[in-house]
Structure 1
Amino acid sequence: MSTDLEALFSAFDGTVGKVSMSDAEFGETFRRMMAALVRFDYVVVFAYRGKERPIDLFSTFDAEEHVVFVTLYQAGPYLLDPFYHTARERRQGVMRMRELAPDRFFSSEYYRTYYVQTGLAEEIGFFVNAEDDITIVLSLMRREETGPFPSGEFAILRKVEPLVASMVRHYWAGLASRFDAQLATHGKRRQRREQDGSLGASDAVWRDLNLTSREAAIVELVLQGHSSESIGLKLSISTGTVKVHRRNVYRKLGISSQTQLLSLYLKHFQ
């Protein structure tokens, strides 16, 4: 795809003299900028802060697609999303989903039961760190029939990333108050669970099911799509030890499959 300079300049012209924009206004400006540079099917923008439920800032989905990509995602699947974990790590730049995903992501229960519903061939995200531990992720998505982003288009996105990051920090500043308001509506119990910095991510999810911190860390990595070998490397334990912990967890929870494990995980956040 060749760059459409006229469309690009027109998108920039819409920002001239504007100190602020609504979510929809800036989201549409971003969409028009990207459409002048590369081909894609969808745009979605989420803001992440720590372990909290992400805030959807902008998307181009129709009503049915919005249910899968936004409503269902916010209900729990975001906790297993490689983009969510990358945002929590405060990494910045333009990154492909397939580069961030664990080694067994595309055969994981999360992928089979949720992600496959999106029908995506590829997703690329602009990861922009803002103030108050907030990371804003602007995703460009291509459906299976469209195919992955060519390397040339990905190179263009990397070149435009500094400009996008600067604009995002300006027009999507001050999101902390929106996260605070969201926490207030979800009740004190949910707030304590998400904000308790003394607990690891896995403990915060599984403590009500009486898993040890080691067991919780392992099953969360399993659900994210890590193999036993990958988990062993991340936690500095042997593959055999990982498998023993997995069997113990299944016995303790009275389950026999990763499908049941995922169901328990997501139910905990609803």
Structure 2
Amino acid sequence: MDIEALFSVLGSALDAPTVSDDEFGRTFRALMNTLVKFDHVVVFAYRGNERPIELYSSFDPDDHYVFVALYQAGPYMLDPFYHTARERRTGVFRMRQLAPDRFFSSEYYRSYYVKTGLAEEVGFFLAAADDVSIVLSLMRRQETGPFPAAEFTLLQRAAPLVSAMASRHWSGLGSRFDAAKASRRRRSRTLQAENESVWRTLKLTVREADIIELVLQGHSSESIGLRLNISTGTVKVHRRNVYRKLGISSQTELLSIYLKSLS
């Protein structure tokens, strides 16, 4: 830990007047740099089913497409961080703490998450006003490796400070979601309907749709059975029926159909 740099960043943050999102993001990034090593920072705001708002990121244009633009286009709905934010949980979590039991062998992971080249992602989860959740993510690439236990513990200890700073800066995010009123309201109201419409178009039953969405999120048949209170065998039967109806034989094809239908 660089104590001198830490105090310098905190002093600058306390002395600064009202700052922009980009300026606050750079301050957060500098603060975290005094504590741990990481490669990227991204901050998203989530509210219900609505498309996440990017508050800050440190990506170059190519990485920004993968981590932000492509993510916002639809894959976020299968992201464990998104589902945790919707549950309004708070704290510091590693991705692997939140992921379903088969997440790292899921088609979402293979088709989208591996594009990020990440070894690990750790998020600070805050529950803000107006049903908004804020997630400040620190990312480490494969060549950097996962966060060591000692560094993760340090991040947990820093959580109250991060929460206080972020909550103070991002106190009016509800109005941002409301700013593009027509599009945001339409998105919020129809996103679930769009999902249901996709499955109706594909002639899936409600139960089949529920199971397939969990499959895409990375849940095993055993995990799905526990969540839906049905047997593992029943889950497998439904999965086979879906594959037969769609004329497919893999999760790769299933995810492709799902994303194309959303588009």
How would you bin the TM-score normalised by the shorter chain? over 0.9
Q: Is the 8 A contact 2:46 2:53 kept in 1?
A: yes
> Which residue is equivalent to 2:225?
232
Q: Secondary structure in 2 aligned to 1:248?
A: helix
Counterpart amino acid of 2:190? Answer: R
Q: Secondary structure in 1 aligned to 2:14?
A: coil
In structure 2, how many angstroms separate the alpha carbons of the residues matched to 1:144 and 1:232? 33
- What is the Cα deviation at residue 248 of structure 1? 2.0
Instruction: Call closer, same or farther: CA 1:19–1:131 in 2, change over 3 Å.
Output: farther
In structure 1, how many angstroms separate the alpha carbons of the residues matched to 2:176 and 2:224? 35
1:192 pairs with 2:189: yes
> Which residue is equivalent to 2:170?
172
Q: Secondary structure in 2 aligned to 1:117?
A: helix
Q: Is the 8 A contact 2:178 2:185 kept in 1?
A: no
> Which residue is equivalent to 2:106?
108
Seq. identity, %: 67
Q: Quote the RMSD (CA, aligned, Å).
A: 2.0
Larger CA deviation: 223-232 vs 209-218 = 209-218
Q: Secondary structure in 1 aligned to 2:138?
A: strand
Q: Where does structure 1 lack aligned partners over 5 or more consecutive residues?
A: none
- What is the Cα deviation at residue 123 of structure 1? 0.5
- Residues matched between the structures, number: 263
- What is the Cα deviation at residue 244 of structure 1? 1.2
Match of 2:95 among 94, 97, 100: 97
The TM-score with structure 2 as length reference comes to 0.93
In structure 1, how many angstroms separate the alpha carbons of the residues matched to 2:249 and 2:180? 36
Q: Where does structure 2 lack aligned partners over 5 or more consecutive residues?
A: none
Q: Is the 8 A contact 2:108 2:217 kept in 1?
A: yes
Counterpart amino acid of 2:234? Answer: T
Structure 1 consecutive aligned stretches of length 4 or more whose deviation exceeds 6 Å? none
Instruction: Call closer, same or farther: CA 1:240–1:151 in 2, change over 3 Å.
Output: same
> Which residue is equivalent to 1:150?
148
The TM-score with structure 1 as length reference comes to 0.91
Match of 2:206 among 198, 207, 213: 213
Match of 1:258 among 251, 255, 259: 251
In structure 2, how many angstroms separate the alpha carbons of the residues matched to 1:219 and 1:81? 15
- What is the Cα deviation at residue 226 of structure 1? 0.8
Instruction: Call closer, same or farther: CA 1:182–1:254 in 2, change over 3 Å.
Output: farther
> Which residue is equivalent to 1:242?
235
1:111-158 CA-partner distances (Å, limit 9, x unpaired): 111110111111100000101111100000111111110100000100
Q: Is the 8 A contact 1:46 1:54 kept in 2?
A: yes
Counterpart amino acid of 1:112? Answer: R
In structure 1, how many angstroms separate the alpha carbons of the residues matched to 2:43 and 2:183? 22
Instruction: Call closer, same or farther: CA 1:170–1:269 in 2, change over 3 Å.
Output: farther
1:27 pairs with 2:25: yes
